[in-house]
Structure 1
Amino acid sequence: MSLVAWISDPQIGKHLLREEGEVVVDEVKHHWFAYVRPAVEATVALLLLVWSPFVLVQLAWILLLVAFALLLHAGWCTVREHRDRFVITNMRVFRVNGVLSQSLATMPLSRILDISVKKPLHGRLLGFGHFCFESAAQEQGLRDIRYVGRPDERDLAIQRVVQRAGLRGPRVPN
């Protein structure tokens, strides 16, 4: 496995309970809008690099340092967003995030009380939203999942999995 693949892959499979029959229903990566800020930072850094030869030699090194710092920060933010995954399985939902150290937050389907889908105006226009999970626990790592692409479809997928697991009671026909 190459260094780039090792850094960018959060390795979701190692967190699954395969012996218990757990399968991934949906693996949610961030919407492309989450990468806009790192892209803007990288663009500014490249502009500084292009502009630095036209500045006095005494000031050019400052521009080079700022450009290098911006490129480093943009790269870090890109990897951080790429490694942040929200996974829906037939048994639970979990979130894996972190670059150097990795965090795992898990919630069984039976503990999901409420899911709020928040779609700001630009999110509605661009096709993303934010999930807010409510459960009986006070503090949890799954409370806010930001920049979820196709949030209505993902919400319905979670509701389907919860219904199939029989956690909400039988459906009553009309």
Structure 2
Amino acid sequence: MGLASWTDPVIAKHLLRDEGEVIVDEVRHHWAAYTRPALEALLAIGLLVVTAVAPVDVAWIPFFLACAALLHAGWLTLREHRDRFVITNMRVFRVHGVISQSLATMPLSRILDITVRRPLHGRLLGFGHFVFESAAREQGIRDIRYVGRPYERDLAIQRVVQRAGLRGGHDRLRG
């Protein structure tokens, strides 16, 4: 097992290739999702500077805290990087997890509504959050956070749904 198997989830193994399923879009988190790990890494660097100037008998305390902060920042970074949202011609699914991996799937036919939420900082930085509504009460995919270019991706999902014939077309409304 190489480094890539730990840092990137294998999306292709979840596709129904023999049914003709193809990826329309693979969504990685927007860079803003990495803000917290970056701040924790900066904190760790600051603690290492403190370690260098601290008296020897207490220098282990900031050093230990720096190591813990670096490990936690690395974990958060890996967790965000391995979280993928995939749009295919048949369904949407999310793969996430570092040690154990979770897969949540929703067929396009079950998507009733997609809400795109763009908080102020999301509008400024170019990301949003998806909220999926389906006919099911408990659903594996509901909130997809830190989606870059959310309106473009929402339109991509709507196009796939329309092409699959799952919604009434414009011509059908004329009757």
TM-score (norm 1): 0.96
Deviations 1:18-61 (A, max 9, x none): 00000000000000000010001001101111221211222210
Structure 1 residue aligned with 2:116:
117
Partner of 2:148: 149
Match of 1:133 in 2: 132
- Structure 1 gap segments, 5+ residues each: none
Tell me the equivalent position of 1:39: 38
Spell out, residue by residue over 1:46-94, the C-alpha distance to the aligned partner (whole angstroms, 9 max, x if none).
1111221211222210101100000000000000000000000000000
Hey, what does 1:52 align to over in structure 2?
Answer: 51
- 1:63 maps to which residue? 62
1:87 matched to which residue of 2? 86
Match of 2:157 in 1: 158
Is 1:100–2:99 an aligned residue pair? yes
Shift of 1:119: 0.0
Cα separation, 1, equivalents of 2:145 and 2:169: 31
CA distance in 1, matches of 2:91, 2:42: 39
- SS, match of residue 58 in structure 2: helix
Equivalent position amino acid for 1:168 in 2: R
Alignment correspondent of 2:166: 167
CA distance in 1, matches of 2:46, 2:134: 47
Equivalent pairs, count: 173
Partner of 2:21: 22
RMSD: 1.2
Distance 2:32 2:140 in 1: 22
**Counterpart in the other structure of 1:76:** 75
User: Is the Cα–Cα contact under 8 Å of residues 106 and 140 in structure 2 kept in the other structure?
Assistant: no
Partners of 2:118 and 2:58 in 1: CA distance: 44
Shift of 1:139: 1.7
Q: After the TM superposition, which segments of 4 or more aligned residues of structure 1 sit over 6 Å from their partners?
A: none
Structure 2 residue matching 1:25: 3-state secondary structure: strand
